[in-house]
A and B are shown apart, each in its own frame.
Chain A
Amino acid sequence: MKILVPIKRVADPDNANKVRIGSGGQKIDTGNLEWKLNPFDEYALEAALRLNEDGKAPKTRLGEVVVVTLGPKEVETNLRSALATGADRALRIETSDEQLDGHLVALALKKVVEEEKPDLILMGKQAVDGDSNQVGQILAELLDYPMATFAATIKADARGLEVSREVDGGVAVVRLGLPALITVDLRIVAPTSVYSAQTDRSFKYNEGVRFAPLPAIMAAKRKKLDVKALGDLVSDGKLRTRYTEFAPPPERKAGKKVSSVADLVSKLANEAKVI
């Protein structure tokens, strides 16, 4: 199965407490943040690789995995590491991060889908910088494709894909016919979350994502990485969502340590009055 994985570079969320609001609240100053691949997109790539292999023989790809990003030149580092991890081909659409909103990303990805004709689009449920959680759903609607958001497990068989989704209060299971779109949740990289039609159901993956071995990193330099202009895909690059101001969250002051369980109960009863 041919799988397209849209990936985004984000300011490292583990450094998010160093997020600074630029002068006058006009922009978020990302200057002192580290960049990394959006974790959910790393998970989507791992899921794509699992779906396109027999877990017992992961060196043989059963279908093409193409990674695509909209972003500046620097994101090619992330594309190369995705290629080293196992993706076959990469595509970058040249933009700056400020030129984008979710709708525009989806419009451009729609064009990519029309050209590449993947059977499946696998992506993150949310980019952890903007925390928007929207591109997958918008793209699915623009394509008139079925979707399964917040996927915790994906099982492929001859009839299509069975996907379990993490929803309020439990798990919803849907069956998708291809072509389709899936956005992944955190649990998708657990050992028994993803099975291709070929992988034996008793097989267990290692927890988390796989790492690229050194020879693969070298080989990735020779894999194909195409670059396109945003204007080639979307004629009207106008943003629909316009951020005009940013503000820091209210500070929460540290409280006190209590000396014992009895002390805690008394403070909760008499001071906070919550019990």
Chain B
Amino acid sequence: MSEILVVAELAEGAVRKATHSAIQCARRIQQLVGGSFSILVLGGAGAKAAAGELTSFGAARILCCEDANLEHYLAERYAPVVAAAAQKFDVIVATASSYGKDLLPRVAARLDAAYASDCSDVISKGGQLSYKRPMFAGNAYGFCFLDTPKQVVGVRQSEFEAAQPSGGASPIEDLPLAAPGAAAQRIEFVSLDQVKSERPELAEARVVVSGGRALKDQFFQVIEPLANSLGAAIGASRAACDAGYAPGDFQVGQTGKVVAPELYVAIGISGAIQHIAGMKSSKTIVAINKDPEAPIFQIADYGLVADLFQAVPELVSALEARKKKS
């Protein structure tokens, strides 16, 4: 039996979809070893309203800490609240978004708990939970036990599908703010610049179109029309991000975002192992590259050897023509 605490993630007063993957993992642990799960929602004004979005997922309780001190996310302020809430729980779960990756290890340290990051699965071995994690750029999976009374777990969003509501009405309980330590006195939030986009988020999109170094400063000029045609999120290789053709948070790969859409289209990307680590679980992979020997073709379901500057506009026209027909 495990009592599980899911830490929700908010953005602009709403629950991020990433949270639903953590709920899915909590349900899975519940199936494996029994027990129940609760959800912690924390943030500034509006957190309580956001908590209302999560009452129909089968949680025993929704714990909510709404406080002006939590207006802007800072691990130094959030970790004490999560750790205080976690006192009554055995397993603390959140999704390994940039928020989860930043916050969870601090929570683990506060709880003197072991931490398994970026888990792709959880199984039970002899009644004990064993966490499956990709290592070495996805070239091996390790299974680990966390040998501490409490366990902290980061969940890879691409490997746990979003939980669906299951009915019921979990009660919402207020949780007081926990006082932060000295660390919080030496950090100040300055700004959060997020590009507003109508596009789906990378980690949630059904289709992802990614561009590489080959696109140069025509990255958006070439990639955007294709992404629009396919209703896709836009990703990039490290080389494209480093060169400033695309923003850093577009990076797909071992050290960027991990995605597993229905369709992944790699444009002018060679297919380095670090890139492949972030997209090889995609259902269908398409690669367009002028080099027939590019390693990306080794994992692509459909490879087109062509100059992208011709092939991509042609592909956009073909897709648009098809749309008009139907």
Q: Are B297 and A131 in contact (CB under 8 A)?
A: no
Residues of chain B in range 269-317 having any CB-CB distance to chain A below 8 Å: 272-274, 280, 283-286, 292, 297-306, 311, 314-315
Within 8 A of B (CB), among A172-186: 172-180, 185-186
Question: Could you tell me the distance in whole angstroms from the C-beta of B85 to the nearest C-beta in chain A?
Answer: 16
| Inter-chain contact B140/A21, CB cutoff 8 Å | yes
Q: Is B242 an interface residue (CB 8 A)?
A: yes
Q: Specify which of B109, B110, B186 lies most central, judged by the most chain A CB atoms within 10 Å of its CB.
A: B109
Taking a contact as CB atoms under 8 Å apart, the answer to whether A174 and B188 are in contact is: yes
Q: How many residues of B contact A (CB 8 A)?
A: 99
Which secondary structure dominates where chain A touches chain B? mixed
In the docked arrangement, what's the CA distance between A70 and B143, Å? 23
Q: Say which one of B40-48, B53-61, B115-123, B209-217 lies at the interface with A.
A: B115-123
- Per-residue A-contact encoding for B102-146, CB less than 8 Å = 1, 0 else: 111110111001111110000001000010011111111111111
A128 vs B303: C-alpha distance when bound (angstroms): 29
A121 CB, min distance to chain B CBs, angstroms? 13
Q: Is the CB of B142 within 8 A of A243?
A: yes
**Interface SS, B side:** mixed
- Judge if A4 is at the interface, Cβ distance under 8 Å: no
Does A137 interact with chain B (Cβ within 8 Å)? yes
A149 within 8 A of B: yes
CB distance from A249 to the nearest CB of B (A): 6
Interface-lining segment among A51-59, A75-83, A257-265 = A257-265
List of A residues within 8 angstroms of B238 by Cβ:
186
B101-A141 in contact (CB<8A)? no
| Cα separation A149 to B185 with both chains bound (whole Å) | 17
CB < 8 Å neighbour of B105 from A141, A160, A180, A185: A141
B249–chain A nearest beta-carbon distance, Å: 6
Is the pair A131, B137 in contact by a Cβ cutoff of 8 Å?
yes
Residues on A with C-beta less than 8 A from B255 are 40, 125-126, 128, 185-186
Does chain B have a CB within 8 A of A242?
A: yes
Tell me, in angstroms, the Cα distance from A195 to B318 when the chains sit together: 48
- On whether the beta carbons of B98 and A166 are closer than 8 Å, the reply is yes
Query: Closest residue of chain B to A177, judged by CB?
Result: B186
Chain B contacts of A175 at CB under 8 A? 187-188, 190
Enumerate chain A residues within 8 angstroms of B191, measured Cβ to Cβ: 172-173
Distance between B310 CB and nearest chain A CB, rounded to angstroms: 9
B residues in contact with A150, CB < 8 Å: 98, 101-102
- Of A21, A172, A173, chain B has the most CB atoms within 10 Å of the CB of A172
**Do the beta carbons of A17 and B139 come within 8 Å of each other?**
yes
Q: Is B31 an interface residue (CB 8 A)?
A: no
Q: A21 to chain B: which residues have CB within 8 Å?
A: 140
Q: Is B194 an interface residue (CB 8 A)?
A: yes
A245 contacts B by Cβ under 8 Å = yes
Please state if B108 and A264 are interface contacts (CB–CB under 8 Å): no
A171 & B188 in contact (Cβ 8 Å cutoff): no
B324 interface residue per 8 A CB criterion: no
Complex Cα distance A266/B23, Å?
38
Residues of B near A16 (CB, < 8 A) are 136-137, 139, 273
Binds B, one of A89-97, A100-108, A217-225: A100-108
A128-B137 contact in complex given A137-B109, A173-B191, A190-B242, C-beta closer than 8 Å: yes
A147 touches B140 (CB 8 A): no
Interface residue from B75, B139, B201 paired with A249 (Cβ < 8 Å): B139
* B68 close to chain A: CB less than 8 A: no
In the complex, are the beta carbons of A103 and B192 less than 8 A apart?
no
CB-contact partner of A177 in B187, B201, B311, under 8 A:
B187
CA distance A127 to B168 in the complex (A): 43
Whether B116 and A137, one on each chain, are in contact in the complex, defined by CB atoms closer than 8 angstroms, is no
> Nearest residue in B to A190 (C-beta to C-beta)?
B242
Pair A162/B314 contact, Cβ less than 8 Å: no
Question: Would A134 and B115 be within 8 Å (CB), given that A28-B140, A167-B99, A246-B142 are in contact?
Answer: yes
Interface pairs (23), CB distance under 8 Å: A13-B254, A131-B137, A137-B75, A160-B186, A162-B190, A168-B201, A170-B247, A171-B193, A171-B248, A172-B191, A174-B187, A175-B190, A242-B147, A246-B142, A246-B143, A254-B297, A255-B300, A261-B318, A264-B302, A272-B283, A274-B283, A275-B319, A275-B322
The residues of B with any CB-CB pair to A shorter than 8 Å are 11, 73-76, 79, 97-99, 101-106, 108-110, 113-118, 125, 130, 133-148, 181-195, 201, 203, 207, 230, 238, 241-242, 244, 247-249, 251, 254-255, 257, 262-263, 272-274, 280, 283-286, 292, 297-306, 311, 314-315, 318-319, 322
